[in-house]
Amino acid sequence: MALVRATRILYREVLPQEFNKSSPMNALVTGASAGIGKEMVYLLAQRGYHVVMVARREEVMETMAQELPRGGTVIAMDLSRPGAAQELYNECIKRELTIDVLVNNAGFGRIKPHTEIEVERLEQMNQLNVNCLSSLCRLFGQDMKKRREGCILNVGSVVGYLPQPFGANYAASKAFVVSLTRALRAELRPYGIQVSLLNPGPTETEFGKVAQDNGDFEKGKPQVMSAAEVAEIGITGLFADHAEVIPGAYNQAIPFLVKLLPKSWVIRAVDSWMRSRLGEE
Ligand SMILES: NC(=O)c1ccc[n+]([C@@H]2O[C@H](COP(=O)([O-])OP(=O)(O)OC[C@H]3O[C@@H](n4cnc5c(N)ncnc54)[C@H](OP(=O)(O)O)[C@@H]3O)[C@@H](O)[C@H]2O)c1
């Protein structure tokens, strides 16, 4: 078993760059135009993958594609629309792109009282963070299963381990990612598919600007890591076949504390921390 695993890891790490120069393997990254996803695009390209970039900002991705050693494929798409996952899958079939590595990274949050979040944004968040991610695992996972190989990296968050008042829907969407990914890892392992979860903590990206209109939540955020660091840890963890990757020692303590402490304490602590940061009564 260990030998099979080691061979697979070697195959996925070495084959794309060393042996398969004429026909590279393909990696698809959602949320490729900024932050963690953008850094992952460069890392996968360095490893020899042809990268399929998906996000809404087409121009940004076209510029990135020109910088990649093997070029890249740009698919500009709003993944928060119902049916987007199927459309993206169909587009890959149409372009004869076999996806060897799927990185479900696109996501956003809203940091404000749940009762004040625009309903439309709430539904888009669920569509992107939950429905699209799950459907892409379903669609590309089916093909990987037939080929008996493939890798899936889902990007969750450390808030997926705990309820987060004032980020309630976002944390709940990431709890879904944690649960789904753990289950899929077991379900797809017999078919040679590696499924990993990357749960970042605070990371310097555009996330804060999208999450809060005034961006105040970003200011003085503790233990912020760079997108490049987080991406590197995530991609390394995926190819090393790690089940769950949490970048940074501070963030790694979170699931441990959540398990150790009574639930009511954890929620109260997060609630008062969030209130103090947002200036809520
Ligand atoms: N930054 C953090 O502190 C942090 C912490 C934990 C987890 N995470 C998670 O890490 C992942 C990456 O976030 P990030 O921090 O790198 O944020 P980011 O800088 O805001 O990047 C988000 C990416 O997702 C894309 N995206 C957003 N909405 C989309 C839509 N409707 N359709 C298609 N693409 C869309 C964006 O591209 P376009 O705008 O061009 O569409 C962008 O490429 C997310 O899942 C996030 O929840 C972030």
The predicted pLDDT at position 220 comes to: 64
118: its two tokens: 């625009």
Is residue 251 predicted with pLDDT exceeding 80? yes
Ligand 1 binding pocket (C-beta < 6 A) is 31-37, 55-57, 78-80, 105-108, 128, 155, 157, 200, 202-203, 205-207, 210, 227
Spatial contact of 126 and 173, defined as CB atoms under 8 Å apart: yes
Calculate the dihedral angle through the C-alpha atoms of 243, 248, 249, 255, rounding to the nearest 10 degrees.
Answer: -50
Per-residue pLDDT reduced to its tens digit, 128-140: 999 999 999 999 9
Spatial contact of 165 and 117, defined as CB atoms under 8 Å apart: no
Atom 45, ligand 1: residue with shortest CA distance:
107
Closest among 163, 196, 192 to 181, alpha carbons compared: 196
The whole-model pTM stands at: 0.93
Kind of pairing between the strands at 193-198 and 203-204: unpaired
94 is a catalytic site residue: no
CATH of the domain at 242: 3.40.50.720
Closest among 68, 60, 84 to 27, alpha carbons compared: 68
Spatial contact of 247 and 237, defined as CB atoms under 8 Å apart: no
Is 15 exposed, middle or buried (CB count within 10 Å of its CB: 0-12, 13-18, 19+)?
middle
Is residue 250 predicted with pLDDT exceeding 60? yes
Per-residue pLDDT reduced to its tens digit, 54-105: 999 999 999 999 999 888 999 999 999 999 999 999 999 999 999 999 999 9
Q: Which helix (H) or strand (E) holds 245?
A: strand 244-245
Half-sphere exposure of 97 (CA within 13 A, CB side): 23
Q: How many structural domains comprise the chain?
A: 1
